[in-house]
């Protein structure tokens, strides 16, 4: 299983000494995760940790290769469909040979050759669900009935991975990044809602027009640890298959982690 940025960070000294020439240990961990830096560029990491990260980076590169193949396949499928006919079931608009959808409140368009146009950065983990949604969404409207990932029809077998990569990583960000939810509202058109599962903070994001995500966060209180859960509308698998639901969650967390790095977030990750 690929190590996440917070997991790599746990292997670092957390002194922010900058001998690796990164702004902080967390920033360095993010660079290692992306493959831009090598773990042994930190002079204080032990050999066992170096071997662990290099092994996992090799697996990560294999995953990236498979992701590239998937994106090419999806792009070819987009090129083979009547893109204009997909406007209504996706909740988008079609004009000048481009289908435009709202992704996190921003316009993202795709043309008849499968090329994506947007003013925001769309990583591969979000591009794949976006194209799959364009191809396969049935147009089923959300009902407002929320379900955790593990209770979705296809979610049980994938929940442990989803819990670690998506909910666990996002909880860490919420614990250590005080402005996370405010930034999600400002940057990504998040909508704060109330009285959901007695959480301290509830926020709805729309990464795709018919695929809303509810984030519920419970702050630590009187010796109780914090908690965070992600919920999806009960209709989500009509519009996005379960593998792409997971991929979308992982892509959003990756995006949020990059925002955190820009803010210099470098507190110690919780040990599970």
Q: Give the domain CATH number at 65.
A: 1.10.15.40
- For residues 164 and 249, membership in a common domain is answered with yes
Q: Compute the C-alpha angle 236/239/243, nearest 5°.
A: 75
Model confidence pLDDT, tens digit, residues 81-100: 999 999 999 999 999 999 99
Same domain flag for 159 and 206:
yes
Q: How many domains does the chain have?
A: 3
Residues 178 and 90 in one domain: no
The answer to whether residue 52 is domain-embedded is yes
**59 & 17 share domain:** yes
Is residue 61's pLDDT more than 80?
A: no
Domain co-membership, 168 together with 249:
yes
Q: Which residue range(s) make up the domain with 164?
A: 146-262
pLDDT category, 271, cuts 50, 70, 90? very low
**In the predicted structure, residue 174 carries a pLDDT above the cut 70:** yes
pTM of the model: 0.76
In a shared domain, residues 182 and 220: yes
Q: How confident is the model at residue 124 (pLDDT cuts 50, 70, 90)?
A: confident
Q: What is the pLDDT of residue 70?
A: 85
Same-domain status, 155 and 248: yes
The kind and range of the H/E element at 88 are helix 87-90
Is residue 151 located within the same domain as residue 127?
A: no
Tell me if 123 is assigned to some domain.
yes
% of the chain at pLDDT higher than 70: 92
Q: If 0-12 CB within 10 Å is exposed, 13-18 middle and 19+ buried, where does residue 187 land?
A: middle
- Rounded alpha-carbon distances, angstroms, from residue 93 to 17, 98, 203: 50, 8, 26
Q: Phi and psi for 173 in degrees, rounded to 5? A: -65, -45
Whether residue 123 sits in one domain with residue 30: no
Q: Is the pLDDT of residue 256 over 80?
A: yes
What per-residue string of b and e applies to 42-70 under the rule 16 or more CB within 10 Å gives b?
Answer: beebeeebeebbeebbeebeeeeeebeeb
State yes or no: pLDDT of 272 exceeds 50.
Answer: no
pLDDT in tens, 141-161: 999 999 999 999 989 999 999
Q: Is residue 187 part of a domain?
A: yes
- Pair (151, 187) in one structural domain: yes
Statement: residue 5 has pLDDT above 90: no
Residue 258 has pLDDT above 50, yes or no: yes
- Record the tokens describing residue 177, joined without a space: 């990044």
119 and 178 both lie in a single domain: no
| Close Cβ partners of 153 (under 8 Å, ≥ 6 residues apart) | 237, 242
Classify 217 in phi/psi space as left (phi over 0), alpha (psi -120 to 50) or beta. Answer: beta
Is 196 within the bounds of a domain?
yes
Q: Are residues 185 and 227 in the same domain?
A: yes
Residues whose CB is less than 8 angstroms from the CB of residue 72 and which lie 6 or more positions away in sequence, other chains included: none
């Amino acid at each position: 299983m690929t190590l996440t940025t917070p997991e790599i960070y746990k292997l670092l000294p957390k002194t922010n000494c900058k001998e690796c020439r990164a702004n902080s240990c967390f920033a360095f961990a993010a660079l290692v995760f992306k493959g831009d830096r090598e773990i042994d560029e930190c002079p204080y990491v032990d050999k066992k940790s170096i071997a662990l990260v290099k092994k996992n980076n090799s697996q990560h590169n294999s995953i990236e290769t498979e992701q590239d193949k998937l994106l090419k396949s999806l792009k070819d499928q987009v090129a083979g469909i009547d893109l204009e006919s997909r406007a209504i079931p996706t909740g988008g608009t079609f004009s000048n040979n481009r289908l435009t959808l709202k992704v996190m409140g921003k316009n993202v368009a795709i043309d008849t050759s499968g090329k994506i146009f947007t003013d925001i950065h769309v990583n591969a983990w979000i591009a794949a669900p976006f194209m799959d949604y364009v191809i396969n969404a049935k147009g089923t409207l959300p009902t407002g009935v929320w379900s955790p990932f593990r209770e979705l029809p296809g979610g049980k077998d994938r929940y442990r991975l989803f819990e670690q990569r998506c909910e666990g990583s996002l909880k860490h960000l919420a614990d250590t990044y005080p402005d996370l939810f405010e930034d999600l509202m400002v940057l990504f058109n998040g909508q704060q809602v109330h009285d959901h599962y007695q959480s301290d903070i509830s926020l709805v994001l729309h990464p795709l027009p018919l695929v809303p995500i509810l984030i519920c966060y419970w702050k630590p209180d009187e010796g109780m640890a914090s908690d965070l859960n992600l919920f999806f509308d009960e209709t989500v698998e009509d519009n996005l298959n379960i593998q792409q639901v997971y991929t979308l969650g992982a892509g959003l967390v990756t995006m949020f982690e990059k925002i955190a790095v820009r803010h210099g977030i470098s507190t110690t990750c919780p040990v599970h």
